[in-house]
Amino acid sequence: MLAASSSSINSSLPVFSVADLNMRIAGSPTDLVENFSIDVFPGHTLCIVGESGCGKSISALALMGLLSPTEIDIRSGTIRFEGQEYPVSEAQNARHLRGDRLAMIFQEPMTSLNPAYKVGEQIAEAITCHHPFSSDEAKKRAIEMLAKVGIPAPAARFNEYPHQLSGGMRQRVMIAMALVNNPSLLIADEPTTALDVTIQAQIIELIRNLQKEANMGTIMITHDLGVVAKLATDVVVMYAGQIVEKGPVEAIFNDPQHPYTIGLLSSMPKLTGQRERLATIPGTVPTIQSMPSGCRFSSRCPFRAAICKEKPVARSFKNNHSVSCHFAPLDVILELSV
Amino acid sequence: MSDIILKACNLKKYYEVNQGLFSSGDLVKAVDDVSLEVRRGETFAIVGESGCGKSTLGRLLMQLLVPTEGEVEFEGKALSKHSDKDLSTLRKEVQFVFQDPFSSLNPRMTVRKLISEPLEIHRKDLSSKQRDDKVKQLLEQVGLRVEHANRYPHEFSGGQRQRIGIARALASGPKLIIGDEPVSALDVSVQAQVVNLLDDLRDEFELTLIIIAHDLSIIRQMSDRVAVMYLGKIVEMGPVDEVFSNPRHPYTLALLSAVPEPVVGQEKTLISLLGETPSPTASIPGCRFNNRCQFARNICRKTQPEISVAEAHEKHIVACHFWQDVAQSASENTMNTSRTRNEKLEARFKLYQAALKGEKAVPKLLGAIEQEELT
């Protein structure tokens, strides 16, 4: 009983929070990412979804401290992680956390593994970097980890080079490397995008099981709404550097409020049911130079009106569902138009 | 004119790899004994995972690659019997749209030059003025603006570049367009635009399309018939609705179950495949799918299954010894349960589409908000 109640208290506190991240290309007048705030809870998966150029990957890189301060000007933003608080602009100093408490998986496993080292050594290095293990112990743990991510004959695979593995296997190695130190937060940037659909299904299953087991918080960055529906507990929808809608996964998929979210969902072709012409979002994502003032989606929004020249404020509804649109909640309009 | 525009008979493309000076190499059977017929006016899809030979097949179909064995007939004439001159006429009739709009357009050519190049080659009767008019017309037909003609490819987004690629393919006035993953490099919203565009152009120009893709929902959206490939062979072929709702091959069944759908709280039973796609050089006796198949029995490891007809009236064919078992399993699978969609969500999609069509009454009802003209 006691254990159960203490874990419920724990899970009500975010393991990782970002407040008010703003950044721009050094010297540019427009923010690349604006007012980015998220909370990640232990055992939960927060999916950041959006199209290319919406700022989802660059936000993740900023949180990991992997951006060059001479190129990207991080103007504000605070990270709260495991009881520590530090500005995002100093995240690059958190080297002791990266690869240990904070881990990241990238999209392209071939380019993120070092081709000149055996995969097992690369995993062992992640251990010895942070913990005083002997190389034998590290090797033993690396092999255990390889087995845990479902690699057959892990002891033999330890001595193989990345080019000897298939795409799915390489991604499993990446996952092993990220999780070997039991991080409390995992950031995964499009981890299944480069994979075939049957392999993608295996990797999704693997991430889901490992995460459940470790009660780890996860930030998953993806453009694939199907993956989001399968993995997410919470969803953040980004458009052109802004969070347009966020909330629990059921709210986003069953009660989308922002026109962009509705547009995205309705432009997905379906695998079952009636085949009909796809709805689209007209136009293309504005470039950073041509960003509309006010609501950034206004240049493509079918609901656009004069008020959209003003910047919308995020409005919150029940269950932490919040939307940045002048027309939210849409139910008002719906009732009138039916 | 015959109803069949393109026909492939027992098409094979083998590559020899790892060849040494004195040793013969391994044989990669990229396309192995594929026969298919594409009907005039339809959209025919070829689907499969990486390495299944779908792109090789696409290139064989328009003689960009020469088959090791077998024959492709376009409008009743075998391609191998074409002289070089005839082949260039063929290129006028059959065009290709490539996957990556970033590497398939010459960065040093303006859009005008890119689109008029096929006109210069195939429409020598046109004056330069007529050519220019044709370029403008094509730009508008693919949803670009006339002033875009003077720009270079790097000035465009991925979706726009794919439109340029499509305009270029349309320029020579082809009867058949083969698209190799024409939308897979694009974002969801732009992907939907290009899918709709290809659909419209097919009707407008009375085209036949062959779409090669790995995304099953895109294929369902775009095509009439589909062929599923695995390791160089067609394992199942038929009308897209029939194949997707009554899959008869275990591989098709697994593919369909693996696609994550954007619906919350509906867990599909995942038919996991054992392991990964074997290396293309591996020689697998019997059915090539047997080592990953949950239905496999002894016969599958020995005898290659013949193509059999699953649904005669639907022309649904399958290459599996136990397709009846698969049919049974598929019908038990949750996959076929019709999804009751959330009414609230449907209403919201309708609202969005009404607003898209310019039915501006919707936000106006809020009263206080002044309506601005949509441009």
Answer whether residue B166 shows pLDDT above 60.
Answer: yes
Alpha-carbon Rg for chain A in angstroms: 21
Chain B contact for A278, CB < 8 A? yes
Least confident window among A46-50, B114-118, B169-173, B352-356 = B352-356
For residue B342, which residues of chain A lie inside 8 Å, CB to CB?
254
Query: What angle separates helix A259-266 from helix B188-205, to the nearest 10 degrees?
Result: 50
Mutate to test the interface with A, among B188, B200, B266 (most CBs of A within 10 A): B188
Chain B contact for A223, CB < 8 A? yes
Report CB contact under 8 Å: A272, B216.
no
> For B371, which residue in chain A has the nearest alpha carbon?
A305
Whole-number Å distance between alpha carbons of A302 and A298: 8
**A residues 146-165 closer than 8 Å to B (CB):** none
Answer whether residue B369 shows pLDDT above 60.
Answer: no
For residue A302, which residues of chain B lie inside 8 Å, CB to CB?
352, 355-356, 374
Report CB contact under 8 Å: A273, B348.
no
* Chain segment B143-152, per-residue pLDDT in tens: 999 989 999 9
Mutate to test the interface with A, among B263, B292, B365 (most CBs of A within 10 A): B263
Using omega within 30 degrees of 0 as the cis cutoff, is the peptide bond preceding A329 cis?
A: yes
**A residues 63-82 closer than 8 Å to B (CB):** none
Chain B contact for A262, CB < 8 A? yes
Report CB contact under 8 Å: B259, A51.
no
What was the pLDDT predicted at A338? 40
pLDDT band at B366 (very low <50, low <70, confident <90, very high): very low
Q: What is the DSSP letter of B288?
A: T
What average pLDDT does the segment B198-204 reach? Answer: 93
**How crowded is residue A303: how many other Cβ atoms within 10 Å of its Cβ?**
25
Counting as low any pLDDT under 50, the low residues of chain A are 1-10, 335-338
* Residues listed for chain A: 338
Report residue A313 as tokens.
């404020």
Query: Of B194, B108, B121, nearest to B151 (Cα)?
Result: B108
* Chain segment B298-347, per-residue pLDDT in tens: 999 999 998 888 877 778 999 999 998 888 877 776 544 445 567 778 88
pLDDT band at B353 (very low <50, low <70, confident <90, very high): confident
What average pLDDT does the segment B2-12 reach? Answer: 91
What was the pLDDT predicted at A333? 58
What was the pLDDT predicted at B283? 79
Query: Of B126, B210, B134, B143, nearest to B171 (Cα)?
Result: B134
Q: Are B318 and B310 in contact (CB under 8 A)?
A: yes
Q: Which residue has the higher pLDDT, B92 or B82?
A: B92
Answer whether residue B269 shows pLDDT above 80.
Answer: no
For residue B214, which residues of chain A lie inside 8 Å, CB to CB?
196-197
Chain B contact for A280, CB < 8 A? yes
Chain B contact for A61, CB < 8 A? no
What average pLDDT does the segment B355-362 reach? Answer: 68
* Chain segment B27-66, per-residue pLDDT in tens: 888 999 999 999 999 999 999 988 899 999 999 998 889 9
β-bridge pairing B316-318 and B233-239? antiparallel
Chain B contact for A338, CB < 8 A? yes
Work out the minimum CA distance from A78 to partner chain B, whole angstroms. Answer: 31
What was the pLDDT predicted at A272? 82
Report CB contact under 8 Å: A303, B363.
yes
What average pLDDT does the segment B92-101 reach? Answer: 88
What was the pLDDT predicted at B329? 79
Work out the minimum CA distance from A316 to partner chain B, whole angstroms. Answer: 19
How many residue contacts between A and B have a Cβ separation below 8 Å?
Answer: 192
Report CB contact under 8 Å: A230, B260.
yes
Chain B contact for A227, CB < 8 A? yes
What mean pLDDT, rounded, does chain B reach? 86
What was the pLDDT predicted at B339? 53
What was the pLDDT predicted at B359? 65
Kind and range of the H or E element at A45? Answer: strand A45-49
DSSP A219-255: EEEES-HHHHHHH-SEEEEEETTEEEEEEEHHHHHHS
